[in-house]
Structure 1
């Protein structure tokens, strides 16, 4: 019997199984130092499936040890093992609550909306705007940034409106997958981008791209739905009857944590950086993808320029940022087979050089030879540079005064 007194390995194996898988899983799915740079989404996916079974095995080992051998420990040994068990409870709090995405960022259970007359959201707040079947809805970025996702309907179209503050990525998707409307949960993050899981197949999807990274539907893509990102005031000028998502009082402190997120660039808060035009990880860019070719436009340089006539993959584009410095647009500059080139007049209106017609910031010609014509919108994204270049490694980068080159050439990849 004496030999069993010296078998603490049973206890420590149980502790390892009880604690370590959960800690590793939490580390890989949250933005801890170094964790997001690892290509570990597949490891995370399968680790999540075995964490609880391993915990159960660990608990069996520990219970076995406590019944068989604990009483035979020295007083010091008993205290050490009792303290370790208490610390285990603390680790569960860390892994299953404190650093669990679902508990850190809760989705509002019933999003409330108001029209322009009863709206309480400031007009200078940035929103993600969606229109379908004549119905317009605006989702303030500050609220989306905390919740990460809102599952809703716009004009009878189911929508999954998402936002990830680590990447500055807003995306709107159709939540119907293989004919079934899915309920999505927030899993965590990989490469600083939110990962969401559908309820039916448990597939994990990247928020920034809608790509299924791992799981039953790996390789498939969520259908992206068109949206605009602009100030609420600019949105209501276009869609005066729009409904606006209102703040959920339960999460007021969480919204407050994102104060000024939608308008102040990280580079402006960095007092150590003297050249504010430097390109850093959290520099804002406008991203566009045309027929598989991605291009990023430096936000600060675009803001100083205001509008840019450009080409991407044989498509003529007009990129513009409104005077409010937050609302941006990209249009196809070809109308009736002819390419138009634009300037800004003294009244901050768009004018084309070919006919001197005047256009508003919704792409509608309001006066001149082209009156009544409308430019076609091109889906564009505002994103942090680190996110755009990660998910679009072959992107072209535009910056005023620099020759355009693919990312691989610029950074020597």
Structure 2
């Protein structure tokens, strides 16, 4: 048998397998894959994987018809075994490590009111309000599905959550006036990538930014939401509808048990100083007029209430008694910045008038009664993700110390 004939077979095998494996590696959080700046490579690689496979298959079929019979028995066994392994690789790349099959979206989201709800009250939820209608999406379900495409108050919403960067976002699925259906593509830089149906553009979940494709550079419209316990959400919105678990994915939901309770740093027995800043440290992030700032969750958990200023805007960051529900408000009221503390009953009180405020930012007693603080969109996120997508962020590590990320990089 001539060497050129064997070359035909092996070229076919390479075209059949390597592009698919490379694509799967780059789009899933394998060691080293997420640190590469390869989203454009991934995007175009996905488009050529199938054509390259077909070309590879033609090479192999050509070889089988023309040369395979001339092989010695041992050579036949080797090539047949290699081909079987190729078939196995399809299972790996097109099913086992394909995001949209690993994390399926519930097709018919089911909701219940507070009376018929089956979701535990201490579960964290993403809460959305529109046109007087409130809905709550439990993180333990949303974390598996990654996204729920729904409507709130007759307004289409795309509710998303990425567990590998630990952050939720709610977007309008309307792109250039057209409601889009989105599919989960995979992950880049440890953040979920979604693709719209019409233009096949890829969007980062954590920012809503179009990273590659026809609409590159555009931004999904972000919609306001809150992350808090279902119990806290029900106190604010007793008539809310609550996403119920899909029975098809009971086992998948169980894999996220305690996801919203225990930090990675607490599970690391090798780390003696639990105040160390690590990649998966939780932070609360805000963006005020283009300026990003992050707050160390562990220190905020102890302090609970922090008066701050970001880009000349007075800000209040607060964590409720349940240690899970967090908020951010602009504290400017009637042209004057208020400063807050907790009273003996755990209620928010301002220093200026001693008025009492609830955890929805409403003043319920005192001279300011009836006034309401303006909510500021805040996010809970892993430090490595927040820092990557907001490289110029400042950081509050505790005790009123703000550090620039250049210094923090030396600590990590």
- Cα shift at 1:411: 2.8
Q: How does 1:97-108 map to 2 (within 5 A)?
A: 97-108=95-106
The equivalent of 1:328 in structure 2 is 326
| Aligned with 2:229 (options 225, 231, 252) | 231
Unmatched 5+ stretches in structure 2: none
Residue 382 of structure 2 corresponds to 384
User: 1:48-86 CA deviation, whole Å, 9 max, x = no partner?
Assistant: 000000000000000000000000000000000000010
Following superposition, the deviation at residue 399 of structure 1 comes to 1.2
- Say whether the 8 Å CA contact 1:31–1:192 is kept in structure 2: yes
Match of 1:145 in 2: 143
> 2:409, 2:19 → 1: CA distance?
37
Match of 1:32 in 2: 30
Alignment match, 1:338: 336
| Correspondence 1:96 to 2:114 | no
- 1:111 and 2:109 aligned: yes
Deviating 4+ runs (over 2 angstroms): 408-413
Q: Which of 66, 72, 86 is matched with 2:70 structurally?
A: 72
Secondary structure of residue in 2 paired with 1:271: coil
Separation (CA, whole Å) in 2 of partners of 1:273 and 1:390: 24
Measured against aligned partners, the alpha-carbon deviations of 1:167-188 in whole angstroms (never above 9, x if no partner) come to 0010000000011000000000
Equivalent positions of 1:11-410 (< 5 A) are 11-401=9-399, 403-410=401-408
User: In structure 1, the residue corresponding to 2:261 is in which secondary structure?
Assistant: coil
Q: Deviations over 1:7-29 (max 9, x none)?
A: 20000000000000000000000
The answer on whether the counterparts of 1:393 and 1:408 sit within 8 Å (CA) in structure 2 is: no
CA distance in 2, matches of 1:253, 1:66: 44
Task: State TM-score, norm by structure 2.
Answer: 0.98
Is the 2:361–2:373 contact (alpha carbons within 8 Å) kept by the matching residues of 1? yes
Taking the aligned partners of 2:260 and 2:5, their CA distance within structure 1 comes to 58
Q: Report the Cα offset of residue 403 of structure 1.
A: 3.0
Structure 2: distance between partners of 1:149 and 1:120: 20
Cα distance, 1:407 vs structure 2: 1.1
Kept in 1, the 8 Å contact 2:330–2:373? The answer is yes
The 3-state SS of whatever aligns with 1:7 is helix
Q: CA deviation at 1:412?
A: 5.8
SS class of match (1:136): strand
Asked if structure 1 preserves the Cα contact closer than 8 Å seen for 2:397 and 2:403, the reply is no
What's the TM-score once normalised by structure 1's chain length? 0.98
RMSD, aligned CA: 1.1
Question: Deviations along 1:255-285, whole A, 9 cap, x unmatched?
Answer: 0000000111111111111111111111000
1:286 deviation in Å? 0.2
Residue range with higher mean Cα deviation, 392-401 or 236-245: 392-401
Instruction: State the alpha-carbon separation in 1 of the partners of residues 189 and 141 from structure 2.
Output: 22
